[in-house]
Every structure is written in structure tokens, then in C-alpha cells.
């Protein structure tokens, strides 16, 4: 298994181009199942979760052609309506094929995801919403088996705000008979990006970006071309990195409008930030200031940035309280940060981080995607060498992270098995 070796202490200087958003690309790829026509997507990031989704689509019988950052997809004839366990267990977002397959083909079988490193993460709200639209759903041999002649519009209020739940129901509703209203809908920018593609495909949607989305079902959707939005979590991760190491980083092809809460917190930590329509520049002098925060649904501070901002707090001046409200068990990075010398105490869903003046490199283990990113940030700031094991987690969601960081002066290299 590959590892990363980071020799900390280098300031970051230069430019990084932000990739397309993983969490927008995943539902968007699944949305191509809603039409028999060709959908062309640009700015698709090169990462493992995208490969997994394309593999899943190919297994269903979809024609997929990938040319660097562009993907052309045609789901005219499928030979299977099943998402197998082997793929779903590596990527929970595979559940996003459920709504589109059911809406267009009247049937779908998707393996139940099961638990994951950051908690239980059930899909009951996806199922409840589709049932409200008239689907007959039961669990059979570990699969969610769903059937419906044609879905019917409904008013659906999910018990909590769920991102992929909103996306699944939004996609399903585009082909349902009549009007669907999604109440308590997630407002994440990735949902807006998905809705924009669906509208380009002929869907009738309003209210996306608010907590009440209205969809008028249509008989069929057609082909479209769409450019995937920039990844706000990747951008936020690089900004945390420069805040931790010091230096001057220009992020190109970024979308500052989607980064509000993250930029606010980084400013509080002492990062000097300038923004333009499609760029963000972060400049850091001196030691960061401790910055407490609480994760919550968009537009509040994202849970997907919690580990990275916590890493910054480990070397900050002062003490910060970090509260995680979205996922239980999302403090797996804490024990690893402590191996680097961080002072963190956990009490339930809160962590108290007391900044130390210097982290010291060590061998650590990545436990999930964003935890891995926090270890990279800590490693860049630490004195000496940090070896991060199990970086396949990082490869799931970051597009060529180590080469982007090398290009701005970080000493970071990938060790393959032979080099250990
Ligand atoms: C998405 C993102 C993930 C991010 C998360 C929260 C994608 C592919 N992934 O994950 O990166 O961390 O949003 O911003 O976009 N829940 C239920 N029942 C359900 C659905 C959700 O109980 O049917 C709970 C979850 O366990 C969790 C909370 O609702 O506690 C929010 O989860 P959700 O928004 O659904 O996360 P994902 O869509 O899986």
C-alpha cells in the first residue's frame, strides 16, 4: 500500500489549480442514467471515487468515454439495474444510482452500504422519500430492492438534512408524474450544481439552494453539456495548509462564493485572504490563532473541513473547541494528530485543542478521507519526517494532492511498496 513521506517546515508559495468537486461529480455522473441521450461533462476530477462511479455505470451497461477532465456518457440501453456490494462497500455514494434507475426503468437493486469509518450513515431517508413517491421498497439479501411503475410526485420532508438523500429524491422526482416538493432539503452548492445539470437536461426545478425544492416531473430528459463546479473542500484544505506552514498560495479555478464559512474561520485564524470571481489567495505570516468552530449543514462550517481546521488548531496560539454535529465518530484523526505531539481532549462530540508551538514528525495512519488531509496539513507543519500510511483514503477524494503540493514547495513524496 502506498504511503506519503512529508518533510515538514517548508513554506508554501505559488499557484494551485483546484479540481472539479468530487461531491458534485458523483451525483452528476449518476444523473446521466436519467436519459438515453449523451451527456458531456467537463472538469471531472481524477480520483478514485470517480473511477468507481464510472466502473459502476459501465457495469450497468452505460457507454463511458473519458478524455482527461471530460467524460461523455450515454445510458441508452442498460444490461443491469443492480449496484453490487463490491462497489458500494468501497463508496457509499453508489446509493445515488437508486433514484435515477428507479425513476427511468421502474426498478433498481442497490447493495446496502453498511457502516463506515465515520459512523452509521443509514439511507432510511432515501428509502422513505422514494416510498412516499409510490415506490415499493424492501431489503432482500443485503440489497435495497425498489420497484415502481411510474413514481408519483409527493411532498417529502426528510427527518434531517441529508445531502445525498436530497440528491437522490431530486433526481427521482424529475421523471415522476406531477409535482414533488422536497422540504428540509440540503442547500449545499453541489445540489445546485446537480440541479443546473438536470435543468439543462430538461427538468423543471425551482428553489434549489434553498430548503424547499419544487420539481415538476416531465416524461423524459434529454442530453446536455455541463462543467462541474470547483471543489470547495479541496480549496479549503489547501488554504488550511498555507495557514499552517506560512507562505502565499494562489488558488485558480476556485469558487469563493461557496467557501464562506471556511474563509471566515481562516481569517479568524490569521490567514490574509483575497478573492476574485474564480480565485482565492491566502497569505500567512506568523503563528495561527486558535479558532473554535462547530460543524453544521451548508452554509455553516462543513464537516468535511473539520479535520483540516483542527490540524491547524494543533499549532495555533491558544485553545479552541471543535464541535462535530453531523457525524458521530468523526474524530478518528485525533489519535493520529496526538502522535505528532498535538494536545487534544475529546468529550463526546466536542474536542478541545490546545495549540503547541511545534509538532514533531511521526508515523501515522490515515483513517478516512478528510482525516488523511488533516494529517498532510499537520505533517507539512511538523518538524522532521512524517510518514502517512493507508493513503488510499486520500486518493479517493483528492486529485493528485502530492504533486499539487510539490509544485508549491512542499517536500512530499509518495512511497510505493518497493520503496518502503
Ligand atoms: C454528504 C457528502 C459528505 C459530507 C456529508 C455532510 C457526498 C457524496 N458526500 O454525505 O462528504 O460529509 O454529505 O455534509 O456528497 N442520515 C440518516 N439517514 C439518511 C441519510 C442521512 O440518518 O437516510 C444522517 C447521517 O447519518 C448523518 C446526517 O444524516 O448523520 C447527514 O448525512 P448526509 O447529509 O446524508 O451525508 P451524505 O449525503 O452521506
Residues 6+ positions from 418 with CB-CB distance below 8 Å: none
pLDDT for residue 372:
95
Q: Specify the pLDDT at position 328.
A: 83
What's the CA-to-centroid distance between 160 and ligand 1, angstroms? 9
pLDDT band at 329 (very low <50, low <70, confident <90, very high): confident
- Confidence at residue 20, expressed as pLDDT on a 0 to 100 scale: 98
Q: Which residue has its alpha carbon closest to ligand 1 atom 13?
A: 163
pLDDT at residue 114 in the model: 64
What's the pLDDT score for residue 270? 98
Residue 344 pLDDT level (bands cut at 50, 70, 90): very high
Give the binding-site residues of ligand 1, using a 6 Å CB cut-off.
Answer: 23, 26, 93, 120-126, 160, 162-165, 302-304, 326-327
What is the pLDDT at residue 268? 98
User: Do 350 and 294 touch, CB atoms closer than 8 A?
Assistant: no
Average pLDDT over residues 308-334: 96
- Grid cell, residue 368, equals 478516512
pLDDT at 119: 61
* Neighbouring residues of 404: CB distance < 8 A, sequence distance ≥ 6: 16, 17, 238
Say what the pLDDT of residue 5 is: 97
pLDDT of residue 121: 73
Give mean pLDDT, residues 172-185: 98
Pick the more confident residue, 68 or 305.
305
Question: Is residue 118 scored above 60 in pLDDT?
Answer: no
Cβ neighbourhood burial of 147 (10 Å; 0-12, 13-18, 19+): middle
- Please give the average per-residue pLDDT across 148-177, as a whole number: 97
Burial class (CB in 10 A: 0-12, 13-18, 19+), 175: buried
CA contacts within 13 A on the Cβ side of 115: 7
Per-residue pLDDT tens over the stretch 186-237: 999 999 999 999 999 999 999 999 999 999 999 999 999 999 999 999 999 9
State yes or no: pLDDT of 293 exceeds 70: yes
Atom of ligand 1 at shortest range from CA of 119: 26
Crossing angle (nearest 10°) for helices 260-268 and 232-245: 10
How many Å apart are CA 63 and CA 354, to the nearest integer?
A: 52
To test ligand 1's pocket by mutation, which of 99, 121, 169, 303 has the most ligand atoms within 8 angstroms of CB? 121
Percent of the chain whose predicted confidence (pLDDT) is above 90: 93
User: Which pLDDT value is given to residue 420?
Assistant: 54
Cell numbers at residue 258, please?
A: 461557496
Mean pLDDT of the residues in the chain: 96
Mean pLDDT for 84-106 is 94
Residue 113's pLDDT is 79
The CA 196 to ligand 1 mean position distance, Å, reads 21
Least confident of 86-100, 152-166, 232-246, 284-298: 86-100
Q: Closest residue (by CA) to atom 39 of ligand 1?
A: 164
pTM of the complete model: 0.97
Atom 34 of ligand 1 has which residue's CA nearest to it? 162
Which of 31, 119, 127, 165 should be mutated for ligand 1, with most atoms under 8 A from CB? 165
For the question of residue 255 being annotated catalytic, the response is no
Looking at the CA of residue 327, tell me the nearest atom of ligand 1.
30
Which residue intervals of 124-224 are DSSP H helices?
124-132, 163-174, 189-200
pLDDT at 267 over 60: yes
Using alpha carbons only, give the angle 370, 73, 206 rounded to the nearest 5 degrees: 70
Q: What is the pLDDT of residue 122?
A: 86
Contacts of 302 (CB under 8 A, 6+ apart): 232, 233, 236, 261, 262, 295
Local confidence band at 115 (pLDDT 50, 70, 90 cut-offs):
low
Q: What spacing in Å lies between the alpha carbon of 383 and ligand 1's midpoint?
A: 36
Q: How far is the CA of 61 from the centre of ligand 1 (A)?
A: 28
Amino acid at each position: 500500500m502506498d504511503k506519503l513521506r512529508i518533510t515538514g517546515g517548508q513554506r508554501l508559495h505559488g499557484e494551485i489549480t483546484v479540481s472539479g468537486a468530487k461531491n458534485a461529480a458523483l451525483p452528476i455522473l449518476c444523473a446521466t442514467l436519467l436519459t438515453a441521450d449523451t451527456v458531456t461533462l467537463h472538469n471531472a476530477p481524477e480520483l478514485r471515487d470517480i473511477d468507481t462511479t464510472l466502473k459502476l455505470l459501465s457495469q450497468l451497461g452505460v457507454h463511458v468515454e473519458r478524455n482527461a477532465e471530460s467524460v461523455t456518457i450515454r445510458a441508452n440501453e442498460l444490461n443491469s439495474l443492480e449496484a453490487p456490494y463490491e462497489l458500494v462497500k468501497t463508496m457509499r455514494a453508489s446509493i445515488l444510482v437508486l433514484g435515477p434507475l428507479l425513476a427511468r426503468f421502474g426498478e433498481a437493486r442497490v447493495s446496502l452500504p453498511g457502516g463506515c469509518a465515520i459512523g452509521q450513515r443509514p439511507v432510511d431517508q432515501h428509502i422513505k422519500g422514494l416510498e412516499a413517491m409510490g415506490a415499493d421498497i424492501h431489503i432482500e439479501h443485503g440489497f435495497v430492492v425498489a420497484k415502481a411503475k411510474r413514481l408519483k410526485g409527493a411532498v417529502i420532508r426528510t427527518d434531517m438534512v441529508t445531502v445525498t438523500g436530497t440528491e437522490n429524491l431530486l433526481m427521482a422526482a424529475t421523471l415522476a408524474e406531477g409535482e414533488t416538493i422536497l422540504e428540509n432539503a440540503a442547500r449545499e452548492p453541489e445540489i445546485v450544481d446537480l440541479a443546473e445539470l438536470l435543468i439543462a437536461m430538461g427538468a423543471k426545478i425551482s428553489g434549489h439552494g434553498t430548503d424547499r425544492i419544487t420539481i415538476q416531473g416531465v416524461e423524459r430528459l434529454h442530453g446536455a453539456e455541463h462543467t462541474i463546479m470547483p471543489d470547495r473542500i479541496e480549496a479549503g484544505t489547501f488554504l488550511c495548509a498555507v495557514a499552517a506552514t506560512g507562505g502565499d498560495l494562489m488558488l485558480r479555478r476556485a469558487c469563493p462564493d461557496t467557501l464562506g464559512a471556511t474563509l471566515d474561520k481562516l481569517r479568524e485564524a490569521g490567514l490574509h485572504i483575497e478573492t476574485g470571481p474564480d480565485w482565492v489567495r491566502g497569505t500567512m505570516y506568523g503563528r495561527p490563532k486558535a479558532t473554535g468552530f462547530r460543524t453544521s449543514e451548508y452554509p455553516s462550517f462543513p464537516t468535511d473541513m473539520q479535520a483540516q481546521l483542527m490540524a491547524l488548531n494543533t499549532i495555533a496560539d491558544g485553545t479552541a473547541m471543535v464541535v462535530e454535529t453531523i457525524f458521530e465518530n468523526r474524530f478518528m484523526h485525533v489519535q493520529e494528530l496526538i502522535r505528532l505531539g498535538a494536545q487534544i481532549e475529546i468529550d463526546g462530540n466536542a474536542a478541545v485543542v490546545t495549540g503547541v508551538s511545534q509538532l514533531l514528525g511521526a508515523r501515522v495512519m490515515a483513517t478516512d478521507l478528510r482525516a488523511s488531509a488533516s494529517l498532510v496539513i499537520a505533517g507539512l507543519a511538523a518538524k522532521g519526517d512524517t510518514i502517512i500510511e493507508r493513503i488510499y483514503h486520500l486518493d479517493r477524494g483528492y486529485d493528485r494532492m502530492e504533486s499539487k503540493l510539490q509544485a508549491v514547495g512542499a517536500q512530499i513524496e509518495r512511497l510505493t511498496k518497493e520503496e518502503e
